[in-house]
Structure 1
Amino acid sequence: MTGKYGRSALWEHYNRTHVTGEPVTDLAGFKSSAPNFKLALWDPRPNGVRYLKALIYNLAEQLSPAAFDALRRISNRDVGDPITVRVGGETVCLDYLQAVLELEYISGHVDLDGAEVLEIGAGYGRTCHAVLSNHDIAAYHIVDLDNSLTLARAYLQAVLPEDQFAKVRFVRNEDVEEAFATARFDLCVNIDSFAEMDADTVLEYLALIDRTCRYCYVKNPVGKYLDKSLDSHSQGAELVSMALSTGLLRDVLDIHDSAEVAEHATRFVAAYRPGPRWTDVADSRARPWSYYWQALYRRDVP
């Protein structure tokens, strides 16, 4: 330290490497560059996990008491070593935070006890895990691609007790017509997969829901984005092009403009209504993402 009120060795280093030897006088872009990444904002590029944990922590503190109780009832959430924080004595990850928010939304409108549930595109099965841990489901049917079914089967077998795992039915996407020829479901769930399917495939699934289901819950993006600053298009231009071509909602928007998102949310609700006999029970933004929407529909004719 030089002088009574001098800078520390740490800030001597920061002045040389981030704030630079010359005083900042050109303000263009400085809030998104090295000087401000030391003065006020952690650089988001190397600090992604720090920001993710902050997001999880803040969301967890905002959970309702009922949602937090639902989280506690889901055992074995740490299988697979997720990125977690600890709130209220519980380890919390973003996946299961979203799962209990979705479950709270659905169960506010649908009686899940004794229900036959269909999920189209279940990922590794965290929604199934959350539902079975909180409700006395009759059976839970998962439709997915082969590799995803293999992962979901392994994961759910690891986290669920035997009697709960016995309620899960795994159906290959290629076997849907045969498997569900006479099936009837109380609820269909689709979370974050309709937007990644070909449009014709989505329409076929919506027709299936129209024929077989009483309620339908959909949570997906309201459209597409091309903001390279979000992910640097790190997986390449070809994958970006493929992503832009999928789903029913392919308009490109500013996903961090609430007015644009609200405008496209109206289209979302219309696009995912399974048929003319269906009523929109509820819809809203799906936290924490700015551009994800959720909608619950009910078929009015038996």
Structure 2
Amino acid sequence: MSKNFWENILSDSLDINNINIDSFRQIGADNNRFCTWDAIEPTSRYFKSLLYAYAENLDSRILQSKLSLDLKSDNKKNGDGIRHYLKNIRNQNLGNPLTINYFGNDISIDYLLSIDEMFFIDEELKESKTILEIGAGFGRLAHSIIENFENVERYIIVDLDLVLKLSKRYLSMVLNKKEFLKIKFISNNDLDAIQSLEPRGLDISINVDSFQEIEESIVLDYLEFISENSNYFYIKNPICKYHPDSVDIKFKNIVQFESVLTMGLCKD
């Protein structure tokens, strides 16, 4: 993984060693770059409107789908929409994120994205016992999947050592002991450990929003590993890169910006 790039960010704008787990997802918090959005007034009101529209759209897609959401041994169809997933995810507001109230449920962009991702691979997840996630961030998707799919026996997270410190702490607080023990945390420098854990292979591998931040050669190594060891692969990454000025973002560190343009398989 892009060790130098992320170590630069970690030392420049994050403080892993002194992270406040109760507020790291809060608007303007030092460690908010681990999360999807850091809305600052007056944009947060506009963002809440977009977030509500996203929730409505996702709710509609799930309701219209013919898939059965066989969650928690409940075989009924998707009559609950996003709430069918949401009701199983406990403690999702740890870290004090920006949320909306959607029909009595507080939900953040992080967990809306997780529900969208789970919905897309719902059928595969229902058949999966062993899952690998490369670059899990603070652990939102691992949290969501483990709470919704009891058939999952092992969830392997591969990430930078510094980021694993956060995901371990977060997931230990939002999951119960039995659920947390399903997770194995592996340094990105130790892929061989995955094969020793699961010599029979993986049911599904997942990468969300991180391959674009990793050197091309390392991404290709991951893809080769996945093709040889995993039955399914779900990937969701941007396919283009914006110049920060075009989206009104001011980079504090020009080295970070220049590094972004050299990483991933898509450099346009």
Q: Which residue of 1 aligns with 2:137?
A: 123
Q: Which residue of 2 aligns with 1:161?
A: 176
Give the % identical residues. 34
Give the C-alpha shift of residue 48 in structure 1.
Answer: 1.6
Return the match for 2:56 from 52, 61, 65. Answer: 61
- Structure 2: runs of 5 or more not aligned: 1-38, 63-79
Q: Which residue of 1 aligns with 2:217?
A: 200
Q: Take 1:124 and 1:112, find their aligned partners in 2: how far apart are those partners?
A: 23
Q: Which residue of 2 aligns with 1:238?
A: 255
TM (norm. structure 2) is: 0.73
- The 1:50/1:142 distance shift into structure 2, 3 A limit, reads same
Give the C-alpha shift of residue 227 in structure 1.
Answer: 4.9
- Runs of 4+ aligned structure 1 residues displaced above 6 Å come to none
Give the C-alpha shift of residue 179 in structure 1.
Answer: 3.6
- Alpha-carbon contact 1:113-1:135 (below 8 Å) kept: no
Letter in 2 for 1:232: I
Q: Take 1:231 and 1:131, find their aligned partners in 2: how far apart are those partners?
A: 34
3-state SS, counterpart of residue 148 of structure 1: helix
- Alpha-carbon contact 1:144-1:171 (below 8 Å) kept: yes
1:47-196 matches, cutoff 5 A: 47-62=42-57, 63=59, 64=62, 65-108=80-123, 110-136=124-150, 137-181=152-196, 182=199, 184-196=201-213
- Alpha-carbon contact 1:194-1:247 (below 8 Å) kept: yes
Q: Which residue of 2 aligns with 1:294?
A: none
- The 1:163/1:143 distance shift into structure 2, 3 A limit, reads same
Q: Which residue of 1 aligns with 2:242?
A: 225
Letter in 2 for 1:231: D
Q: Take 1:53 and 1:187, find their aligned partners in 2: how far apart are those partners?
A: 33
3-state SS, counterpart of residue 95 of structure 1: helix
Identify which range, 223-232 or 87-96, moves more after superposition.
Answer: 223-232
Letter in 2 for 1:220: N
Give the C-alpha shift of residue 68 in structure 1.
Answer: 2.4
Indicate yes or no: 2:247 matched with 1:211.
no
- Alpha-carbon contact 1:119-1:188 (below 8 Å) kept: yes
3-state SS, counterpart of residue 187 of structure 1: strand
Q: Take 1:230 and 1:111, find their aligned partners in 2: how far apart are those partners?
A: 35
Indicate the structure whose relative CO is greater, using CA pairs within 8 Å and at least 6 residues apart. 2
Q: Take 1:114 and 1:164, find their aligned partners in 2: how far apart are those partners?
A: 15
- Alpha-carbon contact 2:128-2:204 (below 8 Å) kept: no
Q: Take 1:164 and 1:57, find their aligned partners in 2: how far apart are those partners?
A: 30
Letter in 1 for 2:207: N
- Alpha-carbon contact 2:204-2:233 (below 8 Å) kept: yes
TM (norm. structure 1) is: 0.65
Q: Take 2:41 and 2:166, find their aligned partners in 1: how far apart are those partners?
A: 30
- The 1:243/1:111 distance shift into structure 2, 3 A limit, reads closer
Q: Take 1:126 and 1:178, find their aligned partners in 2: how far apart are those partners?
A: 23
Q: Take 1:178 and 1:119, find their aligned partners in 2: how far apart are those partners?
A: 14
Q: Take 1:183 and 1:235, find their aligned partners in 2: how far apart are those partners?
A: 46
- Alpha-carbon contact 2:125-2:149 (below 8 Å) kept: no
Give the C-alpha shift of residue 234 in structure 1.
Answer: 2.8
Give the C-alpha shift of residue 149 in structure 1.
Answer: 0.6
Q: State the Cα deviation string for residues 155-178 of structure 1 (Å, max 9, x = none).
A: 000000111111001011111124
Give the C-alpha shift of residue 183 in structure 1.
Answer: 5.0
- Structure 1: runs of 5 or more not aligned: 1-43, 252-302
Q: State the Cα deviation string for residues 86-132 of structure 1 (Å, max 9, x = none).
A: 01110010000000000000114x14345200000000000001101
RMSD: 1.7
3-state SS, counterpart of residue 82 of structure 2: helix
Larger gyration radius, structure 1 or structure 2 = 1
